[in-house]
Amino acid sequence: MSILIKGGTVVTAENETRADVLIEGEVVAAVGKDLSSPGARVIDASGAYVIPGGIDPHTHMQLPFMGTVASEDFFTGTSAAAAGGTTTIIDFAIPNPKQSILEAYKTWRGWAEKSAADYSLHVAITWWDDSVQEEMGILCRDHGVNSFKHFMAYKNSIMCDDEILISSFSRARELGALCTVHAENGELVFRLQKEIFERGITGPEGHPMSRPPEVEGEAANRAIRIAEVLGVPVYLVHNSCIDALEAITRARLEGQRVFAEVLAQHLVIDDSVYRDPDWNKAAHHVMSPPFRPKEHQAALWKGLAAGMLQTTATDHCCFCTPQKQAGLDDFRKIPNGTNGVEDRMGVLWHHGVRTGRLTPSEFVAVTSANAAKIFNMYPKKGTIAPGSDADVVVWDPNKSRTISAKTHHQKIDFNIYEGMTMLGNAAVTLSRGKVLWEKDQLMTEKGHGRYVNRPCFAPFWDAQKLRNAGAAPTRVERKAPARAT
Ligand code: URQ
Ligand code: ZN
Ligand code: ZN
């Protein structure tokens, strides 16, 4: 079937043009002025922007975590994403320590098959031995995985120590795969949690106290330095504070291949949420890294506008109130995670574009194109051009939405953006030419979503050689000294 989106302003990360978009089947066939196609279904986009579907590089659908399972599954989650203008998610296959990473990947593939829109998977490295080394190669070669996640936090669970980081980063270098990192010093968090709890602070307010910005800054800098020494690109997820941003900025100004992500929620919500007298409200904001004092939001917006932060995500990881209440007497037991997959694009447009912090093209870059380029899905994803997948959103800058758990499509009884009104939202969302969202109605189908293969980049060994071109390490030729007695 053909679809003709007429009369809008097409926005890519590069530019804005008044143009029509013709979709033939699952792909964009043409972009141009006054296009026509007999028999095509016409979608009126006059007064609206026509943008590439959003790509959320950080979600956790139905994740088994902290003794429970995230409430949103791959179908409900990708459906809610489509209502918010996001048409591709990259989720995480997270093996338990000692579990085959290939087996875990296959488990997540099974769960994701019911997705309503396209998806891909990062794979986490939570332990190390020769089988992990081997299976990383198989995942890259045969399964289109080009990014491996490392948690530097969550001690006694999925945390990586430096030995695992160094082994895995070295392997990624050989494979041409990208290393992604959750940067918080898990040992410090564990110690601070214990001290704070023993001081009698058992409520959600103990959470941010046990994860101060310095704990994130230390780990961010350590991951960046390890990547520097090994000569491998690194991507830091959910950077929430000045301390991490400083480490990223220093390294990028040095020309190091460091990529960095910011969550929509860390840009607009501050740490006052943890002092809410309503335990449930405070607990629903327990995520890692935590929400920060206001000055950190201002720095993150500048980092995004300056290109020090390239992608925006949600870390969508939902736990309903009964699940959160597992930590009623101990904040360390509150499952970490918040919602956001349906809200990210609206939040970034309302607080980013409407305030002049971002241009529409920069909005497209940080909500779609940059993630596609960094994770090697571009231009199949992330732009509107002939041959690209027809993941297209008609974005109405005047469409207002007041966010509420009562009306959202996310499978959770709480929304961290409750009551916020966003001006600018998705009017129509298409996934590979199929209309998933229109006139505030979801038309999603289980299994429409497809797995997106992400090929590896050229092995980075060359980069290492290039970096040390001047000073290839050479051995010193010398006569053996006389044996001292
Ligand atoms: O750390 C993550 O990214 C997962 C486990 C989601 N939870 C969270 O608090 N960020
Ligand atoms: Zn994380
Ligand atoms: Zn996460």
DSSP state of 316: B
User: What CA–CA distance (Å, rounded) separates 215 from 205?
Assistant: 17
Which region among 63-77, 167-181, 465-479 has the lowest average model confidence (pLDDT)? 465-479
In this prediction, residues 389-398 reach a mean pLDDT of 98
User: What CA–CA distance (Å, rounded) separates 46 from 342?
Assistant: 24
Locate 136 and state its tokens. Answer: 């990383």
Ligand lying closest to the C-alpha of residue 91: 3
In this prediction, residues 3-11 reach a mean pLDDT of 98
Question: Does the pLDDT value for residue 10 go beyond 80?
Answer: yes
> Which of 159, 284, 288 has the most ligand 1 atoms within 8 A of CB, as the residue to mutate?
288
Q: Where are the alpha helices (DSSP H) in 144-291?
A: 162-175, 186-198, 206-209, 213-230, 242-253, 264-268, 279-283
Ligand lying closest to the C-alpha of residue 182: 2
Residue 229 has, within 13 A of its CA and on its CB side, a CA count of: 8
Ramachandran assignment for 119, one of left (phi > 0), alpha (psi -120 to 50 degrees), beta (any other): beta
- CB contact at 8 A, 82 and 392: no
Res 456: pLDDT: 94
For 374, the 3-state DSSP assignment is helix
Ligand 1 residue neighbourhood (C-beta within 6 Å): 60, 65, 182, 287-288, 315, 317, 336-337
Res 470: pLDDT: 57
User: What CA–CA distance (Å, rounded) separates 29 from 8?
Assistant: 16
Q: How confident is the model at residue 475 (pLDDT cuts 50, 70, 90)?
A: confident
Indicate the pTM of the whole model: 0.96
Tokens 């980081």, located at residue: 165
The alpha carbon of 139 and the centre of ligand 1 are apart by a number of angstroms equal to: 23
Question: Does the pLDDT value for residue 464 go beyond 80?
Answer: no
Nearest to 21 by CA among 1, 45, 38, 39: 45
Q: Which residue lies with its CA nearest to atom 6 of ligand 1?
A: 337
Give the ligand 1 atom nearest the CA of 65.
Answer: 5
